[in-house]
Structure 1
Amino acid sequence: MAELKGRDLLSLADLTSEEVTALLQLAAQLKSGQLKPQCNKVLGLLFYKASTRTRVSFTVAMYQLGGQVIDLNTTTTQVSRGEPVEDTARVLDRYLDILSIRTFEQQQLETFAHYAKIPVINALTDREHPCQILADLLTVEECFGKLKGLTLTYVGDGNNVAHSLLLGCALVGMNVKIATPADFKPLTEIVEQAKAIALPETEIIVTEDPEAAAKGSHVIYTDVWASMGQESEADSRIPIFQPYQANEQLLSLADPEAIVLHCLPAHRGEEITTDVIEGSHSKVWDQAENRMHAQKALLASLLGIGD
């Protein structure tokens, strides 16, 4: 993975199909213990949004690689007092080897990456969640032994997860169907970008019909109906999104061996029912664990560990 050394990951579209495949292979080797690269590097976590899985998985992944982690709490740094992004980026560049940022605006992430020479990782923005989708693809590959030709159906809000699923599935040759209410579709520019980078014969569909989207699908995927920063809209969204719930009826339309994924945290009884998330088709906990393995592969590649 020498070609990734020193690069940023701001979007899954920053990667080629071959690079995604190589990252997933490396993640599987790291998970199995087949490879145990070690480093003496420092990862900074600059999170403007709350986090459980992303924070812990990045921290454990870096520790297991032999590195150190600094949690840059935005409430106790000068960021909270309005220090310009470009100033913070240039200072952190002098201290750290790599930086993972979880924030609201994609533009803020891109500004950090512009002013910092070290690799910058998108740990979630309102536009994309690339690290989550690397873990998702690793989970699907573990379950089916392949990715190309499978179909993933996402139901719910056309949010950052939906955006990154469009791009990630396109890159690995998975068909992807996004079913959302009319006013909550993914960004048209992301859909078009996914179509532009998709492998041949890959099907990319955006629809308002969740049942049609779920038919024959190998993966049923959902996320919360109101993302961070949209909490005030949560109650008003429930009746709009109710037809897009991941429940037994929707799952019955999918392939008999279909798996269920959710990036968490989950609101049982809203976007997913308890019997589905706790059922035999659920791979949600494997998916959550794989955040650590996928991000370990990403950190090792961007830092050039093992070269």
Structure 2
Amino acid sequence: MGIVANKVTLEQQLAGRDFLTLADYNKEEIGYLLELAAHVKQQKQSGNIEQPLKGKTLGMIFEKSSTRTRVSFEAGIYQLGGTGLFLKSDDIQIGRGELISDTAKVLSGYLDGIMIRTYSQKDVEALAKHASIPVINGLTDTYHPCQVLADMQTIQEVKGGLKGIKVAYIGDGNNMAHSLMLGGATMGMNISIAAPEGYQPDEAITEKAMSLAGVEGCKVEVTDNPEQAVQQADVIYTDVWASMGQESEQTLREKKFADYQVNKELCSLAKKDAVIMHCLPAHRGEEVTADIIDGEQSVIFQQAENRLHAQKALMTALMG
């Protein structure tokens, strides 16, 4: 796949940038990242891997534990010729009360990029404000942009494009819902979020996504009706009902979300060729039944693999 025509301009626009939320990136910039992700994936599959980040180091700060984020970033930076440093928050001074601004300035002298997976979006923004190197949001309670970049790569692969594709997201209006709305609307996708009252996406983020959708001629909607959301959907997406840090709410959430399970009955209302997506980890029998997530229309492991390729593209663009 050829990289977009204005490659040099986009390379210049992205070099040194932070990646905090998809709302900070326009359609052309996201499109470039997705084409670059397809390119690096093809390289890996052919065994012809370039190493544009040779000699560079990514610091990876984790306040929230992870499988996919840690392994994909650490393997990705290694494959690009660089080195990844795993920095658990308890092992560095930021976990002992050091100012984020001090940590940002110190790490900027040692590293070429920072990836942080944490709770507060404000902490990520503060780190980016005071760092002189790119900061990548590996996940916060508000956004999960790296996941959605990989999700869009996956949808392109299985559906042939993004514009006009309908994604029905069923479940908690969390960081995944927020990033899906923002990224999807920017790329001309129709996003329908079905969540119970009290668990719907942030109103300000929803309004921002709707504004972006208006520009692209697509639609973002929020409803409490999962059957309505999946009508004519090309993609059915779900996530756990209780995210990390919400374990004490598990029993309550199981009751609130009982009617939001992605199962055979619900999926029958979508297009016949609709695919099933989940950012993982999954709780089979809760937010999704085993026959659906492990069925022929599930692309969850293709989606998970694409975290590696999308993030390699991201690191190449920002740190290269």
Which TM-score tier does this pair reach, normalised by the shorter chain?
over 0.9
Letter of the structure 1 residue corresponding to residue 91 of structure 2: T
CA RMSD of aligned residues (A): 1.0
Report the Cα offset of residue 37 of structure 1.
Answer: 4.0
Q: Does 1:144 align with 2:146?
A: no
Alignment correspondent of 1:107: 122
Give the whole-Å Cα distance in 2 for the aligned partners of 1:92 and 1:74.
Answer: 13
Deviations 1:10-32 (A, max 9, x none): 10011001111111011001100
Query: What is the TM-score when the length of structure 1 is the normalising length?
Result: 0.97
Alignment correspondent of 1:29: 39
1:1-307 matches, cutoff 5 A: 1-33=11-43, 36-39=50-53, 40-198=55-213, 199-304=215-320
Sequence identity (%): 52
User: What SS does the aligned partner of 1:183 have?
Assistant: coil
1:29–1:35 CA contact under 8 A, matched in 2: no
Query: What is the TM-score when the length of structure 2 is the normalising length?
Result: 0.93
Alignment correspondent of 2:7: none
Alignment: residue pair count:
304
2:49–2:79 CA contact under 8 A, matched in 1: no
Give the whole-Å Cα distance in 2 for the aligned partners of 1:8 and 1:62.
Answer: 17
Deviations 1:144-182 (A, max 9, x none): 111101100000000000000000100110000000001
Report the Cα offset of residue 67 of structure 1.
Answer: 0.3
Give the whole-Å Cα distance in 1 for the aligned partners of 2:210 and 2:242.
Answer: 26
1:147–1:173 CA contact under 8 A, matched in 2: yes
> Any gaps of 5 or more consecutive residues in structure 1?
none
Give the whole-Å Cα distance in 2 for the aligned partners of 1:16 and 1:201.
Answer: 15
Give the whole-Å Cα distance in 2 for the aligned partners of 1:201 and 1:12.
Answer: 18
Runs of 4+ in 1 over 3 A off after TM superposition: none
Letter of the structure 1 residue corresponding to residue 63 of structure 2: Y
Give the whole-Å Cα distance in 1 for the aligned partners of 2:120 and 2:84.
Answer: 24
Give the whole-Å Cα distance in 2 for the aligned partners of 1:36 and 1:194.
Answer: 36
> Any gaps of 5 or more consecutive residues in structure 2?
1-10
Letter of the structure 2 residue corresponding to residue 19 of structure 1: E
Alignment correspondent of 2:8: none
Report the Cα offset of residue 209 of structure 1.
Answer: 0.3
Give the whole-Å Cα distance in 1 for the aligned partners of 2:125 and 2:14.
Answer: 18
Give the whole-Å Cα distance in 1 for the aligned partners of 2:216 and 2:128.
Answer: 32
Give the whole-Å Cα distance in 1 for the aligned partners of 2:216 and 2:308.
Answer: 31
